């Protein structure tokens, strides 16, 4: 028994469906890439300081963690990013800055690095604060 040959409109519908699916996948990939950039920019707006701020702020809470000491964990960029991750996980869009960052190297059998800091939210209106920016839904 022979299969019926699809009519021109059916072939056109199949072709259009294929093109639309490919187009949707491309758009979805672009949206995901933009979302990743937005999340990274949002993280970078969360400033990290070893000192106090010269503007009024509300303390949200303390941050701390301990890692094994090695070349990566003692790196300032690694410490800042880890503090950002912890602060965003706890306070989301409310946290504007991390202040009073301090590190301590120690440990008994295994050398460790301990990091402490405070998460804060700015009190006065500010244009660059994270809480004034739309959330990228990290």
72 backbone dihedrals φ, ψ, rounded to 5°: -75, -45
pLDDT at 72: 94
Q: What CATH number was assigned to the domain covering residues 47-123?
A: 3.30.110.70
Cα(42)–Cα(51) distance, rounded to whole angstroms?
22
Residue 78 has pLDDT above 70, yes or no: yes
Q: How far apart are the first and last CA of the chain?
A: 57
Residue 123 has pLDDT above 80, yes or no: yes
Inter-CA distances, 20 with 8, 33, 38, 69, 107, Å: 18, 20, 26, 51, 59
Kindly indicate the confidence band of residue 14, based on its pLDDT and cuts at 50, 70 and 90.
Answer: confident
SS (HEC) of 71-94: CCCCCHHHHHHHHHHHHHHHHHHH
Q: Map out the domains of the chain as residue ranges.
A: 7-45, 47-123
The answer to whether the predicted template modeling score (pTM) of the entire model surpasses 0.85 is: no
Cα(62)–Cα(3) distance, rounded to whole angstroms?
71
The alpha-helical segments, DSSP class H, found in the chain are: 8-45, 76-91
SS3 3: coil
In the chain, count H helices and then E strands: 2, 4
């Amino acid at each position: 028994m022979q299969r019926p040959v699809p009519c021109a409109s059916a072939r056109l519908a199949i072709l259009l469906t294929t093109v639309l699916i490919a187009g949707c996948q491309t758009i979805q990939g672009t949206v995901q890439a933009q979302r990743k950039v937005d999340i990274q920019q949002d993280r970078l707006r969360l400033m990290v300081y070893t000192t106090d701020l010269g503007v009024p702020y509300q303390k949200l809470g303390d941050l701390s963690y301990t890692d094994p000491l090695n070349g990566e964990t003692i790196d300032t960029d690694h410490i800042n990013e880890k503090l950002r991750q912890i602060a965003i996980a706890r306070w989301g869009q409310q946290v504007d800055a991390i202040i009073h960052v301090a590190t301590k190297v120690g440990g008994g059998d295994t050398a460790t690095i301990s990091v402490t800091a405070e998460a804060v939210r700015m009190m006065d209106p500010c244009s660059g604060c994270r809480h004034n920016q739309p959330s990228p839904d990290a």
